[in-house]
Amino acid sequence: MDHIFSGVQPTGNLHIGNYLGAIRKFVDIQNRGNVAKAYYCVVDLHAITVWQDPKKLKKDILETTASFIAAGVDPKNNIIFNQSSVSAHAELAWILNCICRIGWLNRMTQFKEKAGKNKERASVGLYAYPILMASDILSYKSTLVPVGDDQKQHLELVRDVANKFNFDYGVNFFPEVKPLIIGDATRVMSLKNGNKKMSKSDESQYSRINLTDDKDDIRNKIKKAKTDSHNIMGLEALDDNGDFKAEVAIKRPEAANLINIFCELEKKSKKEILEIYAGKNFSNLKENLTDSLITNIVPIGNEMKRMIKDSLY
Ligand code: TYM
């Protein structure tokens, strides 16, 4: 039976990418029921790899915790906790720092993106970020990690670090770690630019649907979401696995993104969705996507707001 571990940074603006790519998977795993233990961690030590306002960080830790519970992760049957409250994460990270090779970290694309042009001024913590992830997961000897697609490379590094530790010391101490990256929303893209990942740090609120958005926010954002001048594609856009063909995803990233989000929300295949919308313009799809988002997301946001107000809870 698998031990599950996953983490979410408390950096505010939790959005449907975080929910559909990761948090909802935690709930699916719980409902499937065949796991030994599941740990869901609010990774505040990861958050401080870039500057955080201390007061806001406290608030965001609570908000992230609330998002897990509001989405349906049962705190009685899963371990929900804050990373910095367990010092083992930082301790094991140091040991793994001594295992991991600098060359491996140099290949991490997320560091390059986050550090930007001024790499010299990035924190050492931002550079060593994936080693702390390895420590998170390996502290509990977890084997399965539900995440969005953007964490794939980090999880490959976690495996490399665990293997090298086992090899160097001639032991079989750390287990093999597998990512769980499934569904149509493993990489939800910005509503303004289908080539950019939906992100908590995007300056434009119109780039993402936040979990705390109300009906009107959702309606406005989907109305303004970028599309293209063609009608919705037909079944010829899909490959044998039912995914968008590469050329379609490249030529029509915004259309593919809205359809992916809709499929994941409705738990329907692309084939089922395209059979309904092929040849139509985007307004009908946008209307139904808005309704689906309102049905799925607004209750979670309301529950988050309720919990955050109830400080005793
Ligand atoms: P974070 O806080 O950036 O994101 C939390 C989770 O949301 C997923 N995600 C997305 N999924 C689909 N589309 C998107 N646009 C999108 N944006 C984010 C992320 O893949 C992630 O699953 N490094 C991690 C946190 C972490 C962690 C760990 C994860 C720390 N330790 C150990 C797993 C195991 C991160 O920055 O997530």
Q: Per-residue pLDDT tens for 222-269?
A: 999 999 999 999 999 999 999 999 999 999 999 999 999 999 999 999
Determine the angle formed by the axes of helices 88-97 and 124-139, rounding to 10 degrees.
110
Read off the pLDDT of residues 61-109 as tens digits, 9 standing for 90 and up.
999 999 999 999 999 999 999 999 999 999 999 999 999 999 999 999 9
Testing ligand 1's pocket by substitution, the residue of 150, 178, 180, 189 carrying the most ligand atoms inside 8 A of its CB is 150
Signed CA dihedral, 255, 188, 152, 31: sign only = negative
Residue 18 Cα, ligand 1 centroid: separation in angstroms? 7
Residue 248 Cα, ligand 1 centroid: separation in angstroms? 26
Residue 251 Cα, ligand 1 centroid: separation in angstroms? 27
pTM summary value:
0.97
Residue positions annotated with a catalytic role? 114, 197, 200
What is the pLDDT at residue 187? Answer: 98
- Contact (Cβ atoms closer than 8 angstroms) between residue 158 and residue 140: no
What is the pLDDT at residue 206? Answer: 98
- The CA distance from 27 to 193, in Å, is 29
What is the pLDDT at residue 36? Answer: 84
Nearest atom, ligand 1, residue 11 CA: 2
Of all protein residues, whose CA lies closest to atom 34 belonging to ligand 1?
Answer: 6
- Residue 274, pLDDT > 90, answer yes
Q: List residues near ligand 1 (CB under 6 A).
A: 5-9, 17-18, 21-22, 43, 46, 133, 136-137, 145, 147-148, 150-151, 185-188, 197-198
Of all protein residues, whose CA lies closest to atom 18 belonging to ligand 1?
Answer: 18
Structure token pair of residue 285: 């799809």
Residue 72 Cα, ligand 1 centroid: separation in angstroms? 18
Testing ligand 1's pocket by substitution, the residue of 25, 29, 40, 43 carrying the most ligand atoms inside 8 A of its CB is 43
In the structure, what pLDDT confidence band is assigned to residue 311 with cuts at 50, 70 and 90? confident
